[in-house]
Amino acid sequence: MTAPTEPGRVCRDCGATSGLVMRPYGPLDPPEYECADGCPPLDLDALDALAAAATDGPWTAHPDGLVWSPLIGDPVSGSVLPEDAALIAAARNALPALVAEVRQHRAAQQPTAPAAEPSDRQLLAAAHRWARTHGWRVTWRGWADGLSDGTVGVGWEHGELRIWRSYTTPGSSDRRWPTWSTDYPVASVRQAVDVLVALDVLPAELSSAYRAAVASR
C-alpha cells in the first residue's frame, strides 16, 4: 500500500517524501502525512556525509536570524526568525553526536561476532587480548587502534566486517574519520581474523596460515 511520491508532501515524523499516506487522525486542512509502512531507519551514512561536507562547526545563531560558522565571510544560513536560526545551528552542531549515538545503539543490538565455534572463541579471545595490549580501544567506530582518533576502526555491521581508516588533513594534525568505510563479508571469526591479517591490521601470527604452519611443525 505504498503511495507514489507527491510533490511538497513529507512525512511528519521523519521527513520522507515518498510512500506516504494521510495521517488518519491529523488535521484535514492542510492534511498531514506519514510513512505508509512506518518510518524507515535513519540513513546514518547519508547524515554523516551531509555533516562532513558542510562548513565545519560550531555554528552559532545570531539575534538577527543569521547563522555563522567559524569562517569569516558569508553566513551559512539566514532566516527572518531567530528561533529558526537557533534550530539550524543547533542541528548542525548536534548531528555528529546524534549519528554517533544512534550507531552505538544499533551496534549494541547486533551480535558482536559470527557464530563462534570453541576454537573460534579462543581465536577471538586471542585477537581481543592482542588488541587490548596494543592500545586498541572500543570506540563508536568499533575497535580502534588508539583513542577515538585512531587510524583504523574495526566494527561489525549487517553481518560484515567494517573497516574505517581515518586520515589527517594535509598541513594539520587534525585526524578525522572519513564518512565511508569498507565492508568485508565474512562467515566466521577465523575468516574475519584472516581478513584483518591480510589488511595488515592484526599480526600474521593470528592467521590460519601461520597457525597451520606452526601446527604442522
Q: Which residues bind Zn ion (CB under 5 A)?
A: 11, 13-14, 16, 35, 39
Measure the CA–CA gap between 184 and 193, rounded to whole angstroms: 11
Burial class (CB in 10 A: 0-12, 13-18, 19+), 144: buried
Nearer to Zn ion, 14 or 91 (CB): 14
Nearer to Zn ion, 16 or 99 (CB): 16
- Nearest-approach distance from CB 35 to Zn ion, in angstroms: 3
- Nearest-approach distance from CB 206 to Zn ion, in angstroms: 44
For residue 134, give the C-alpha cell: 596494543
Nearer to Zn ion, 21 or 86 (CB): 21
Query: Running DSSP on this structure, what letter comes out for residue 212?
Result: H
Tell me the torsion sign for CA atoms 9, 13, 18, 19. negative
- Minimal CB distance residue for Zn ion: 11
Measure the CA–CA gap between 38 and 19, rounded to whole angstroms: 9
Q: Would you give the end-to-end CA distance of the chain in angstroms? A: 64
Nearer to Zn ion, 41 or 63 (CB): 41
- Nearest-approach distance from CB 10 to Zn ion, in angstroms: 8
- Nearest-approach distance from CB 119 to Zn ion, in angstroms: 46
